[in-house]
Amino acid sequence: TQLLEQSPQFLSIQEGENLTVYCNSSSVFSSLQWYRQEPGEGPVLLVTVVTGGEVKKLKRLTFQFGDARKDSSLHITAAQPGDTGLYLCAGARKTGANNLFFGTGTRLTVIP
């Protein structure tokens, strides 16, 4: 059973276009993180959102945590080839030993 589902799974767009990636769950998380992973490298943390409804901006990237803390979205404005990569969301829960649950991932390709 996959706790966090991301959509779309694959996305290929032209440079300059906007896009939104979704991360959905039926579970509540204490916080949610977004990572970007480039080929042959480990995931790199982009942002953590903690409060329901919270919005954080990182240059052209906008992250939102759902009001119920069950879902999140990542919006990229005017995508650049450097945005290409695998985007992973991860939800944190304070119960049990396995507290960080990773999503299925969205593989983004930005074509110059």
Partner 1 sequence: ETGVTQTPRHLVMGMTNKKSLKCEQHLGHNAMYWYKQSAKKPLELMFVYSLEERVENNSVPSRFSPECPNSSHLFLHLHTLQPEDSALYLCASSRQIETEAFFGQGTRLTVV
Three-state SS string over 28-48 comes to CCCEEEEEEECCCCCCEEEEE
Q: Is the peptide bond before 39 cis (omega within 30 degrees of 0)?
A: no
Q: Contact between 43 and partner 1 (CB under 8 A)? A: yes
Q: Which of 103, 101, 44, 43 is nearest to 73 (CA)?
A: 103
Residue type, 59: K
**Segment contacting partner 1 (CB under 8 A): 14-22, 51-59, 70-78, 93-101?**
93-101
Mention every residue, 6+ apart, whose C-beta is less than 8 A from residue 112. Answer: 15, 81
Q: Which is nearer to partner 1, 45 or 78 (CB)?
A: 45
Q: Which is nearer to partner 1, 42 or 82 (CB)?
A: 42
How many chain residues touch partner 1 (CB under 8 A)? 25
Q: Contact between 99 and partner 1 (CB under 8 A)? A: yes
Q: Contact between 85 and partner 1 (CB under 8 A)? A: no
Q: Contact between 1 and partner 1 (CB under 8 A)? A: no
Residues near partner 1 (CB under 8 A): 2, 30-31, 33, 35, 40-45, 48, 88, 90, 92-94, 97-100, 102-105
